[in-house]
Amino acid sequence: MIKNISGAFQGHEKRVDLRLVIIFMIINLLVMLNAVIHNPEMGYDAEGHLDYMTTLPAKLPTFGESTEFFSPPLPYFLPSLAYQGCYQIYADENIVDARNFDCRKLAGKVAQGINVFLSLGTTYLFLLIADRLRPGKANFKPIGLGLFGLLTVYYKTFAQVRGEPYVAFFCLLAVFFLMASKPPFAPILSQIRTYPRNYCLNHQS
C-alpha cells in the first residue's frame, strides 16, 4: 500500500524524488496553516456559505436563507452535521454565549479541515497525471508541481468555506480516470489529439 502511494513521488530512476516530497509538503502545509489561522467568517460571500450549512441536512436552503442557495449541497453536508451536533449540545443560546462558542464558526473550521484533505488529494492526483503525461522525465513533475504551488489563488480558495476545492479535486480525479481508461474512452482521446492535424491536412489538399 505504502509502496503504491510512494509511486507518485518517484523520479525517472524509480526512486523517491525528495524534491517532489518537499514541494508537496510545502504546498499542503501552507493549506493546513491557512485552515488553522483563517477565520471562516471572513470573505465577501462567507456568510452565504455558512448560512447554507445551518440549513442542511434537513433541507436545501432557499434564496432567503442563503445567497449560495444555487450551489450543490456536497461541500456543505459534513460541516452541517458538525453544526447540528454542536447546536444539539449547546441548544440553549445563553450557554453558547456564556462559553463564547460559535457553532457556525465550528462548522466553518470543519469545512476548512476537509479542504486540507482535498488539497492532499488534488496535489497527489496532479503528480499521477503528470507521471502519465511525461513518464520517465526527471524534471517534469518537480517543475510542474512547483509552478502549481506558485498559484496564490490556490491557497486563497482552499482557505475559504466554498465548493471550489471539491471542483478542483473531482476535475483532476475525472482526468486521471479518463487517462487511465480503456476503450471506449481511449479512442476518443486519440481522436481528440489527432483531429486538429487531420483537419488541417484535409483542408490543404
Domain borders along the chain are 2-204
Q: What gap in Å lies between CA 8 and CA 148, rounded to an integer?
A: 16
pLDDT score, position 16? 83
Per DSSP, the three-state class of 16 is strand
Using CB atoms within 10 Å of the CB of residue 155, give its burial: 0 to 12 exposed, 13 to 18 middle, 19+ buried.
middle
Cell numbers linked to 175? 482526468
- Return the pLDDT at 11: 73
Q: What's the N-to-C CA distance of the chain in angstroms?
A: 54
Q: Would you state the cell numbers that stand for residue 137, as one nine-digit string?
A: 522525465
Please, what is the Cα angle at 77 between 59 and 94, to 5 degrees? 75
**pLDDT band of 99, cuts 50, 70, 90:** very low
